[in-house]
Amino acid sequence: MKLFYDFHIHSCLSPCGDDDNTPNNIVNMALIKGLNVIALSDHNTGKNCPAAMAAGKKNGLVVLPAMELTTSEDIHILCLFEKYEDLAKLENHIQNTRLKIKNKPEVFGHQRILDENDEQIGEEEHLLIVSSGISVEEVAALVKGFGGIPVPAHIDKQANGIVGILGSFDYNLGFELIECTVDSGVKLPQITDSDAHYLWDISEAEHFIEAESCSAHGVFAALKRMCRQGE
Ligand SMILES: [Zn+2]
Ligand SMILES: [Zn+2]
């Protein structure tokens, strides 16, 4: 079955994400746009994923747990998962490698952690948009080791894109899927996402994947199949 997707959306936990990007608002906007599946991908954290997944479950939208990891070279890697437990293990692993700089909400924005009713249950104290200690050489194997799919994010963008930073795409780094809005020339299967920081930027029902079922398991299996196609 065809499932319309947007696998790259930021919530109000990303300092650069709008405060209106709450788990329920994101889920409802995705449904208005006609999407079947989204992934919530905040910078270097997955702490709003449980709320978004619960909101999705209540409203009939598949929500994959994800994060947008920043490598030590400042390259953004979208890390997609089927299960939150696996994403949480990755977060645990990178947590101690991140620079510890206190967030200044008045400068960078709030980093709110919400529950499934959009009630605030915490605020991340340290700035999330900093590099982790994970290098681009090790990131693909690391994410795969935790059961995730590593996807170089927005590779057509100069800022924080793998090609812009390294100068060219290196096929030996272990990536099997890329994220791009245009034909990048990179010979790997591609997904196209919004990288929405505001509700209205969430994708229209435009890009789809073929999955066997409309579930996290079905979508993740379809993404894995796309990865293997590139081999
Ligand atoms: Zn990014
Ligand atoms: Zn992003």
What's the average model confidence in pLDDT over 203-220? 98
Asked whether residue 98 carries a pLDDT value surpassing 90, the answer given is no
pTM above threshold 0.95: yes
Q: What are the structure tokens assigned to 60, written together?
A: 């009939």
pLDDT at position 183: 84
- Average pLDDT in the 114-143 region? 96
**Mean pLDDT value of segment 194-205:** 98
pLDDT of residue 53: 98
- The amino acid at residue 25 is N
Domains of the chain in start order, with CATH, are 2-229 (3.20.20.140)
**Ligand 2 mean position, distance from CA 229 (Å):** 25
Provide the pLDDT for residue 191: 97
Distance 39 CA to ligand 1 centre (A): 14
The CA 10 to ligand 2 mean position distance, Å, reads: 6
Ligand 1 (single-atom ion) residues, CB below 5 Å: 76, 153, 160
Q: 41: CA distance to ligand 1 center in Å?
A: 10
| HEC secondary structure over the chain | CEEEEEEEECCCCCCCCCCCCCHHHHHHHHHHCCCCEEEEEEECECCCHHHHHHHHHHHCCEEEEEEEEECCCCCEEEEECCCHHHHHHHHHHHHCCCCCCECCHHHHCCCEEECCCCCEEEECCECCCCCCCCCHHHHHHHHHHCCCEEEECCCCCCCCCHHHHHCCCCHHHCCCCEECCCCCCCCCCEECCCCECCHHHCCCCCCEEECCCCCHHHHHHHHHHHHHHCC
Q: Determine the angle formed by the axes of helices 136-145 and 84-95, rounding to 10 degrees.
A: 140
